[in-house]
Chain A
Amino acid sequence: MTKTYPKASRPSLDNVSVSIEKGEFVFFIGPSGSGKSTIIKLLLHEVTPNKGRVIVNSKDVTSMRSWKRPHFRRSIGCVFQDFRLLPNRTAYENVAFALEVIGKTKAVARRVVPEVLELVGLGGKEHRYPHELSGGEQQRVAVARAFVNRPLILLADEPTGNLDPDTSIEIMRLLDRINRTGTTVVMVTHDSNIVNQMRRRVVEIESGRIVRDQARGVYG
């Protein structure tokens, strides 16, 4: 599969082929501009490849119509480096918002949100606003929001990029716990510590090409 952005001199991803099994935990590593983040965008159907196909949850999403995208995204959770929480909503409200805007009732939210906040270790802090939480705690809220809809896949784009090493490890434990529930986790990172500690599958990308694909790999 190849993806070239308009005006780019070379493809962001050049003839890349990766297959990820259900329930796997995969790191995509590589320097900035190597094309890691493009993978996340392709999986989210934010961009489409110029050549080749993207298959998610055994559905070919390469030529998916844009009006089908919202429903497709409900099966994917997403976490980012900058958390992307709504500052004027509490932890509870941030997570509930994700449910309510896809049509779940308030009753469902009341049942599910405390559960998932408990799971990410934020029990008792439901009514704090993002600015009253530490970076690690904010990222937990983001993970809770990504996971509350029980997606099949969790995409994480440098989720530890803004966190100190100890907090990063806690977030990784959390992602690991989520992975153990059967959720596929795809994580883009250049945090060598974390990759080395987790010992999971590592796919290394450089200049848009896969240079290494290793089970139980290290940052190298």
Chain B
Amino acid sequence: MRVKYVLSEVLVGLWRNVTMTIAMIITLAVSLTMLGVSGLVYSKVDDMKDLYYKNIQVSIFLKGDVTDQQRTDLETKLKSDSLVKEVLYVNKDEAYKRFQEMYQDAPDLVTAVKPDQLPESFRLTLVNPEQYKSIYDQYKDTEGVDEIVDQSRLLDKIFDLFTAGQNIALAGAIAMAIAALLLVANTIQVAAYSKRREVAVMKLVGASNWFIQAPFVLEAVVAGLIGSFLGLGALIALKFFLFDGSLSALQGLFSPVTWSDIFLMFPIMAGVGALVSAVTGWTTLRFYLRV
């Protein structure tokens, strides 16, 4: 009977102040969606880092006047280096071929460049791509070396962009969460006010504190859960229309956002939504109801 009483109080409470309830649910939903997006970006960036760093290479370009001796010395040194997993030598012709492939859309550029003008290079795959710096320090002054280029520097810039995007989503989530918190607090206050007679009688006859507070706190929790369901819906829509829709051309670039990624975000969103609402509701009651 008590459970039934509490549940019916929750429904009545949500309905009594329905405009506020809707506002509360929408802000919670937006906040949780942004949290979900941020979480997805976070897990995707990790995936992509793994994927990209595995194939990342450090290129050591050689000077045009490099001697055979210098080249052989360098190659021996690189091959015995414990930081290096694989060494690939690219001579001028191969470099030219790659160049042609890369710029096949710009034939003028290709014809303007002669195989001679392209430097020879060693392409290194590192055991650990993060150790680029020590490779750089070690070989930058070696005879015959012109320049050392690390692709991961470039990738880092791309990932910095992703991280920035993730941070923006997170900041948005936090801003919306604050708005949601205030709405939850306000809704609870209104609810407590409209039930002040009942609460006064309950306190007087000795109803336990949890029994007085539960309907209010649950009201907030239910709103939080509804908000997280809406957030899940928004993420599904995002995947459907954005990743599988207009952004599907970029699929080769990103690691794909799978359905399981999205459904794995849901417990986090629901948990955060429910917990944050409950804590806010309960704290509000501590100040407002003084049971």
A residues with CB within 8 A of B: 44, 67, 69-74, 76, 78, 84, 86-87, 97-98, 100-103, 105-106, 145, 149
Q: List, in ascending order, chain A residues with CB within 8 A of B1's CB.
A: 100, 105-106
Q: List, in ascending order, chain A residues with CB within 8 A of B208's CB.
A: 70-71, 102-103
Cα distance A103–B203 in the bound complex, in angstroms: 13
Cα distance A101–B6 in the bound complex, in angstroms: 10
Interface-centre pick from A73, A101, A105, A106 (highest chain B CB count, 10 A): A101
Q: Does B5 have its Cβ within 8 Å of any Cβ on chain A?
A: yes
Number of A-B contacts (CB under 8 A): 53
Q: List, in ascending order, chain B residues with CB within 8 A of A101's CB.
A: 201-202, 205, 207, 211-212
Given contacts A84-B197, A84-B200, A101-B211, contact A149 B2 (CB under 8 A): no
Q: Which positions 1-41 of chain B face chain A at CB distance < 8 Å?
A: 1-2, 5
Interface string of B186-215 (1 = CB under 8 A from A): 000000000001101111111111011000
A-B pairs, top 7 by smallest CB distance, nearest first, are A73-B206, A74-B206, A101-B207, A98-B205, A70-B206, A70-B208, A101-B202
Q: Quick check: B206 and A71 within 8 Å, CB to CB?
A: yes
Q: Which positions 207-261 of chain B face chain A at CB distance < 8 Å?
A: 207-209, 211-212
* Minimum C-beta distance from A46 to chain B (A): 9
Q: List, in ascending order, chain A residues with CB within 8 A of B5's CB.
A: 100
* Minimum C-beta distance from A107 to chain B (A): 9
Q: Quick check: A86 and B197 within 8 Å, CB to CB?
A: yes
Q: List, in ascending order, chain B residues with CB within 8 A of A71's CB.
A: 206, 208
B residues with CB within 8 A of A: 1-2, 5, 197-198, 200-209, 211-212
Cα distance A73–B200 in the bound complex, in angstroms: 13
Show 24 A/B contacts (Cβ-Cβ < 8 Å), sorted by A. A44-B204, A67-B209, A69-B206, A70-B206, A71-B208, A73-B203, A73-B205, A73-B206, A74-B206, A78-B204, A84-B197, A86-B198, A86-B201, A97-B201, A98-B205, A100-B1, A100-B5, A101-B207, A101-B212, A102-B207, A103-B2, A106-B1, A145-B201, A145-B205
Q: List, in ascending order, chain B residues with CB within 8 A of A84's CB.
A: 197, 200-201, 204
Cα distance A71–B198 in the bound complex, in angstroms: 18
Closest to B195 in A: A86
Closest to A97 in B: B201
Closest to A94 in B: B201
One of B2, B201, B209 near A98 (C-beta < 8 A)? B201
* Minimum C-beta distance from A102 to chain B (A): 6
Given contacts A84-B197, A86-B197, contact A73 B209 (CB under 8 A): no
Cα distance A148–B208 in the bound complex, in angstroms: 18
* Minimum C-beta distance from A73 to chain B (A): 3
Cα distance A70–B213 in the bound complex, in angstroms: 13
Cα distance A73–B2 in the bound complex, in angstroms: 19
Closest to B4 in A: A106
Cα distance A76–B204 in the bound complex, in angstroms: 9
Q: List, in ascending order, chain A residues with CB within 8 A of B198's CB.
A: 86, 97
* Minimum C-beta distance from B21 to chain A (A): 21
* Minimum C-beta distance from B184 to chain A (A): 24
Given contacts A100-B1, A101-B211, A106-B1, contact A72 B201 (CB under 8 A): no
Q: List, in ascending order, chain B residues with CB within 8 A of A102's CB.
A: 205-208
Q: List, in ascending order, chain A residues with CB within 8 A of B212's CB.
A: 101
* Minimum C-beta distance from B39 to chain A (A): 38
* Minimum C-beta distance from A59 to chain B (A): 14
Interface-centre pick from B201, B202, B206, B209 (highest chain A CB count, 10 A): B206
One of B2, B197, B201, B209 near A70 (C-beta < 8 A)? B209
Cα distance A102–B209 in the bound complex, in angstroms: 10
Q: List, in ascending order, chain A residues with CB within 8 A of B203's CB.
A: 70, 73
Cα distance A106–B198 in the bound complex, in angstroms: 18
Q: List, in ascending order, chain B residues with CB within 8 A of A149's CB.
A: 205
Closest to B198 in A: A86
- 17 further interface pairs, Cβ-Cβ under 8 Å (given A70-B209, A73-B206, A101-B201): A70-B206, A70-B207, A70-B208, A71-B206, A73-B203, A74-B206, A78-B204, A86-B201, A87-B197, A100-B1, A101-B202, A101-B207, A101-B211, A102-B205, A106-B1, A145-B201, A149-B205
